[in-house]
Amino acid sequence: MKRDVDFAARSGCDSALVLFRSEAATEFLQRTLFLWAALAHLSAVQSASVHPPCKRFQPIYAFGDSITDTGNQVRTSPGSAPASHLPYGETYFKCPTGRYSDGRLMVDFLTTALNEGLLPPHVGLTDRTGSENFAVAGATALDLPSLHEIANVTSTTPISLDCQISSFNQDSCEVKLSDALVYFGEIGGNDYNYALAARRSMDVVESLISPVMTRISTALSDLISREVKHIVVQGQFPMGCISVYKYVLNGSATDKDGCIVSVNQISDEHNRQLKNVVLDIAGKHKDVSLLFFDTTSAYVRVLQNPKAYGFTNLFDPCYEEGLRLFLGPAFNMTLGNQTCSSPQNYINWDGVHFTEAMYRTLMRLFLERGDFASPSWNFLSGCTYF
């Protein structure tokens, strides 16, 4: 307004005309600001309808293997488990916690996104009325007799999915579960890993998939029968993209992303059947929110555009000595015994597991992008606290 008055004084224009123009400009500005405010409010309302506020879940439970284990194995095998020693845990915790990574896992980022604390491991827990993590490194979907019967292999731990569900049923028998969240982490991968490590044929390895699906389906149905209403089921990682198989099967046919085709076929079929299991159960239980997290698709998204996510090394392990721990002395390889200087730029941590940076990226993709969740509506999409 002062600018208009000053201009009038200099030009000799009628002051009333200047005042009118100033008032008109002010009214126009007010209307414009009101319009922008209304649009912003509408946008917020629409955004809220697409991404509702993050629901508070209590308690939270997790199942699975080393991808999700936050300390159960090291409590049952103190000192002998690789994750009980540095450099495991060096990035975030600055000490080993039993997690098979340099830092946090996907389940840790999920509970952080939910504004909850990290899940305590089941083993050694005194208060069994709250959140718990039942996942154990080395765990299989099938029990030991079934593994032996189908593939003539055994597991590094007797704690299969059956055992985890049994422990859950005991600990949660007096807990209200309608507001609980279950993170059903990767399970079944070790069933295939043990068979591949024992050099079983691909036909034998693939014969494990159907019984693995049966066991997972039964476990999910058991959880629903206990009135659990919110379940996230994590898919299998693309096995052929993992360092250990890239090293052991060096020279085998690879796909356009550089992953071993024959091994990826196993995890791809696992995921195809698992997604169908989830959709089938979801269709039968309309009152249950059941989500399948397509981990492989998210992983491949990172592989195909690594710089966008901060990764410069896609296949080498940051902690190369980890490969020796898992492969044993039979594989004569020249490996370093130090960790890389920048784990945040690596996807693979120890050749079998992944870095905190990769786990963070995958969970962020799951929470923020609907194309990695099935069915398409993701009840966790508003949870982005990390």
**Which among 62, 326, 75, 347 is positioned nearest to 194, based on CA atoms?**
326
Q: What is the largest CA-CA distance in the chain?
A: 102
- In order, the DSSP letters of 153-212 are ---S-S--HHHHHHHHHHHTTTS--TT-EEEE---SHHHHHHHHHTT--HHHHHTTHHHH
Q: What residues contact residue 292 under an 8 Å CB cut-off, 6+ apart? A: 233, 235, 274, 275, 278, 279, 373, 374
Dig out the tokens for 376 from the structure: 């398409």
Dig out the tokens for 176 from the structure: 């209200």
Residue 115 φ/ψ region, left for φ over 0, alpha for ψ in the -120 to 50 degree band, beta for the rest: left
Dig out the tokens for 19 from the structure: 């005042």
Spatial separation of the C-alpha atoms in residues 261 and 3, rounded to whole Å: 71
Length of the chain: 386
Q: Which residues are catalytic?
A: 66, 350, 353
**Which among 126, 137, 45 is positioned nearest to 98, based on CA atoms?**
137
Pairing relationship of beta strands 346-348 and 373-374 according to DSSP bridges: unpaired
Q: What residues contact residue 147 under an 8 Å CB cut-off, 6+ apart? A: 140, 153, 154, 155, 191, 194, 208
